[in-house]
Amino acid sequence: MGEISLSELIEQTKESIRSFEYNRSTINRYQIAWRALTDYFIEHDQVVFSKQLAEQFVLESKTKLDTRAIKKWRYKLNRLTVLMLIDCYEYVMSHGNTIEKTTRTVYSNWLTFSCIRIISTISKKGEKVPVPSESMKCFKAIFKIPGTKEIQGYL
């Protein structure tokens, strides 16, 4: 895969989630986690995004959680923001080094669909949580946009 700086990837990920209209506090929490990841990359003399180093950050966060050095919400936030970056990285690398405006919309829709799929299979008790069929129909319609065959494979 190609290379992209961590700071550029964070900016592209922020831009791609803009359509979700998260409230300011959610964005601020993401930025705190991305800052911690950036500091981690700096400690390891790394400017270019590395999936392996990002995953190592999550593993170290898990160790800190297990030793009670950080709270569970912090670990979950670190894990979520790294997964968002990895997802964006893989999408960007398969479509060139930037997410163009039209592609960004498709990517945001795809990311939303991914989140719904995750939510639909996870709950606190480990039971499946149903996703309304109307939401699924909406996403299936979104992904029938011409030129998005690679995304249609996820349905």
**Domain spans in the chain, listed from the N-terminal domain onward:** 1-97, 100-155
Q: Is 0.85 topped by the overall pTM?
A: no
Looking at domain 1-97, which of 3.40.50, 1.10.150, 2.115.10, 1.20.950 is its CATH number? 1.10.150
Give the pLDDT score at 107: 53
pLDDT at position 58 is 96
pLDDT at residue 35, as a whole number: 96
pLDDT at res. 21: 86
> How many angstroms separate the CA atoms of 63 and 69, rounded?
8
- What was the pLDDT predicted at 111? 59
H/E stretch holding 94 reads: helix 72-94
Distances (CA, A) of 49 to 2, 14, 87, 123: 10, 15, 12, 31
Which parts of the chain sit beneath pLDDT 70? 1, 96-155
Residue 144 has what pLDDT? Answer: 44
- Please report the DSSP string for 71-92 in residue order: -HHHHHHHHHHHHHHHHHHHHH
